[in-house]
Structure 1
Amino acid sequence: MSAGEIDRLIGLLARLPGLGPRSARRAALHLLKRRESLMDPLMEALGAVAASVRLCPVCGNLDTRAPCSICADPRRDGTLICVVRDVADLWALERGGVFSGRYHVLGGLLSAIDGVGPEDLGLDRLQARVAEGPVAEVILALPATVEGQTTAHVIADLIEPTGITVSGLAQGVPVGGELDYLDDGTLTAALRARRPV
């Protein structure tokens, strides 16, 4: 490899989340030192993923089949749709194993600063899924940020005329969390979402 090719590899690795230029250099060096055991299998895996993984046309999940394995699973509760920002959020919920419904991946959040409007998030696809039914509840599992809450309000306004229940995830003190370490916003949300013991 010439220095230009190594620099290109470092530049591409630095684009990955959590990797800056220094971490990318270390990763590139590690890959180069372990070509047969690490770099070659990685290149093969990347090629296979690029060739076979696609977005689910129903929910927006990533999978090798269309519709995805979640949408195609007859054991999933089709009356529950959980709306998430991106596939990473879907994977986090699936990792917990507590949700047995279906998903809708927005692919982002509404943001006037970034020029992301309702048409960019596939809200019309969500409306169509709700209209096709039978949907009893739409759960908004969106971040507790300004963009997340704005997106949640827009979705709730779109679905409200259908009479379908729209709910959001509880917010507040995490399991094992200590009050002294929580920010004011989390404490406020926890107090407002209090429930009988």
Structure 2
Amino acid sequence: MAAAEIERLIRLLARLPGLGPRSARRAALTLLQRREQLLEPLAQALAETAEKVTVCSRCGNLDSSDPCGVCLDPKRDPSLLCVVEEVADLWALERSGAFIGRYHVLGGTLSALDGRGPEQLRIAGLVERASDPAVTEVILALGATVDGQTTAHYLAERLAPAGVTTTRLAHGVPVGGELDYLDDGTLTTAMKARRPA
């Protein structure tokens, strides 16, 4: 039986996406065997990240500054606002280089089964940002899941009074697909082929 500290480490690692109990055990063993090269630098990076990284009050991105670097970037097109479900989707679009505007992270999608309504998402902030005269287009870059489609339809209705053009991602995003798992070429094609919502 492993020490309580090791078991705790394994349980925490097993909570990470893509790591089950066996993978978490292997990761913990590797960390412990390579203490100076991996474990100590990782522990320091985790502590610094926990202390310094925050949620951007403007868009919902994660960064060490508030507003985040994307919101403060003067090269961004302020007329384009891309709505994504989670920060992972924002990062996926950034990796693709397909988008040069600003973002708004909802923090999830509407889901009756999960008890997640409009109040649990950052929708009020989105409506406020879309009402800015500088914004001319809001791109609903949500996954092609049932919840993503429902959320996109709801947002299109909520954004209609703002008078902005509301578009959706098109070709390249498979039904049931999530943005974080798509390759850069697919994301670029989908961004270029967006259509009215």
Query: When the two structures are superposed, what TM-score results if normalisation uses the length of structure 2?
Result: 0.85
1:132 partner SS? coil
Matches within 5 A, 1:25-104: 25-104=25-104
- What is the letter of the counterpart of residue 13 of structure 1? L
Measure the CA separation in 2 of the matches of 1:144 and 1:97.
Answer: 21
CA deviations 1:2-43 (Å, max 9, x no partner) are 621111110000000000000000000000100011000000
Measure the CA separation in 2 of the matches of 1:137 and 1:65.
Answer: 26
1:173 Cα shift?
A: 7.5
Q: Which residue of 2 aligns with 1:186?
A: none
Q: Which residue of 2 aligns with 1:120?
A: 120
2:135 partner SS? coil
1:155 Cα shift?
A: 0.4
Query: When the two structures are superposed, what TM-score results if normalisation uses the length of structure 1?
Result: 0.85
1:167 partner SS? strand
- What is the letter of the counterpart of residue 138 of structure 1? V
- What is the letter of the counterpart of residue 157 of structure 2? D
- What is the letter of the counterpart of residue 124 of structure 2? D
1:78 partner SS? coil
Name stretches of at least 5 consecutive residues in structure 1 with no aligned partner. Answer: 175-192
- What is the letter of the counterpart of residue 63 of structure 1? D
* Alignment CA distance shift 1:6-1:87 (3 Å): same
1:116 Cα shift?
A: 0.5
- What is the letter of the counterpart of residue 26 of structure 1? R
* Alignment CA distance shift 1:86-1:66 (3 Å): same
1:78 Cα shift?
A: 0.7
2:102 partner SS? strand
Identical aligned residues as a percent: 63
* Alignment CA distance shift 1:127-1:93 (3 Å): same
1:134 Cα shift?
A: 1.3
- What is the letter of the counterpart of residue 80 of structure 1? L
- What is the letter of the counterpart of residue 44 of structure 1? Q
Structure with bigger gyration radius: 1
- What is the letter of the counterpart of residue 46 of structure 1? L
Measure the CA separation in 1 of the matches of 2:25 and 2:133.
Answer: 51
RMSD: 1.4
- What is the letter of the counterpart of residue 62 of structure 1? L
1:130 Cα shift?
A: 1.1
* Alignment CA distance shift 1:102-1:156 (3 Å): same
1:172 Cα shift?
A: 4.3
Q: Which residue of 2 aligns with 1:183?
A: none
- What is the letter of the counterpart of residue 27 of structure 1? A
Name stretches of at least 5 consecutive residues in structure 2 with no aligned partner. Answer: 175-192
Measure the CA separation in 1 of the matches of 2:5 and 2:172.
Answer: 48
- What is the letter of the counterpart of residue 156 of structure 2? A
1:131 Cα shift?
A: 1.5
1:171 Cα shift?
A: 3.2
- What is the letter of the counterpart of residue 23 of structure 1? S
2:131 partner SS? helix
Q: Which residue of 2 aligns with 1:141?
A: 141
Report how many aligned residue pairs link the two structures. Answer: 174
- What is the letter of the counterpart of residue 91 of structure 2? W
Measure the CA separation in 1 of the matches of 2:173 and 2:103.
Answer: 25
